[in-house]
Amino acid sequence: MIVSMEMEQESIDGLIEAVLFFKGEPVSLAELAKTTHMTLTEIESAVGVLSTRLSGGIRLMRQDDMVMLATAPEYAVHIESLIKEELSKDLGKAGAETLAVVLYMGPVTRARIDHIRGVNSTFILRNLAARGLVEKMPHPTDSRSMLYRPTLALLAHLGVSDATQLPEYRTIRDEIGVFEQRAASHIQNDSEESQHTLTDDEGHGDNDVLDMQSDMYDDE
């Protein structure tokens, strides 16, 4: 994402608000700075503005250098009621699909889950976490992201002590891996075809100019 260096302060805190809403999880100030191409000083200032501005149903929560959007504490009773209502429903296709990815590919980042499913999984993962089916853990090599894995309670419910004991674990995991490779290859091929088309169009343009020049000389 490229952001104009002349962006107004109000726009910066609005951008941060949008990023935090999209992420749906704690984000470090350093990651916000990298994402928005701003300095840490600018991010600190914008976070302060955003914290002051969000005084309604949505609040900005901060712990050390991590920030996230959350519902206001005074509405906790109402939100808890909504959560219970949501948890009483079936997982649905999206929930089952996401849970399967976490079970067979976990620990896995949300970005990879999104890539496999082809859609944003933020709210589905939040729902699964609220149900006690998945949990987050620190990424061992990237402090800016988290990994999702099945909870011990879920594994126990499925009658296994480890995800590798799931039915056809290796086969399904390999199939998902092949799907990822094909998807990546398809994207690359589309990009190359677009580039070739652009190059061909430029070449045809040159030929048209040459043809016009040839006709002019023939007329003379």
pLDDT at 8: 60
pLDDT tens digit sequence for 116-171: 999 999 989 998 998 889 999 988 998 778 899 999 888 888 888 889 999 999 99
The pair of structure tokens assigned to 179 is: 């799907």
Closest CA relative to residue 14, chosen from 56, 46, 37: 46
Task: Specify the CATH number of the domain 9-74.
Answer: 1.10.10.10
For the CA atoms of 168, 185, 98, 15, the dihedral, rounded to the nearest 10 degrees, stands at 160
- Decide if domain 90-170 falls under CATH 1.10.10.10: yes
Q: Residue 10: pLDDT band by 50, 70, 90 thresholds?
A: low
Residue pointed to by tokens 């998945």:
134
pLDDT tens digits, one per residue of 72-119: 888 888 877 876 776 667 788 999 999 999 999 999 999 999 999 999
pLDDT of residue 81: 80
| Domain spans, the chain | 9-74, 90-170
Q: Is the confidence at residue 196, as pLDDT, over 80?
A: no
pLDDT in tens, 11-40: 888 999 999 988 877 889 999 999 899 999
Which residues are CB-neighbours of 101 under 8 A, at least 6 positions away? 108, 113, 116, 117, 176
Read off the DSSP letter of residue 39. -
Q: Is the peptide bond before 73 cis (omega within 30 degrees of 0)?
A: no
